[in-house]
């Protein structure tokens, strides 16, 4: 009986060790995902800013005229 108890204790110890490593890995992955989420949000905000500035620049270049109102270059 004591041999099977020893085997069972060894298996439990192995499972507890694996669980500890898995929990650590999950915590690291969660931290990485949170960091990437913050980076993505910052990039999206910056993209909105740049897009708005680009639209303003296009408007200023065309002085509010739509591209369909322009005459072709050969006129």
Question: What is the DSSP secondary-structure string of 39-59?
Answer: HHHHHHHHHHHHHHHHHHHHH
- Which residues form the domain of 57? 2-63
pLDDT tens-digit series, residues 42-70: 999 999 999 999 999 999 888 866 556 66
This prediction's pTM: 0.62
User: How many structural domains are present in the chain?
Assistant: 1
Which sign does the torsion angle of CA 8, 11, 17, 23 carry? negative
pLDDT at 17 over 80: yes
Q: Report the distance separating Cα 74 and Cα 56, nearest Å.
A: 28
Backbone angles phi, psi at 22, to 5 degrees: -65, -40
**For the chain, what percent of residues have pLDDT higher than 70?**
85
């Amino acid at each position: 009986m004591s041999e099977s108890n020893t085997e069972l204790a060894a298996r439990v110890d192995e499972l507890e060790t694996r669980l500890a490593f898995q929990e650590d890995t999950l915590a690291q992955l969660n931290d990485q995902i949170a960091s990437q989420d913050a980076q993505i949000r910052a990039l999206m905000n910056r993209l909105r800013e740049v897009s708005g500035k680009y639209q303003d620049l296009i408007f200023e270049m065309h002085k509010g005229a739509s591209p369909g109102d322009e005459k072709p270059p050969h006129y």
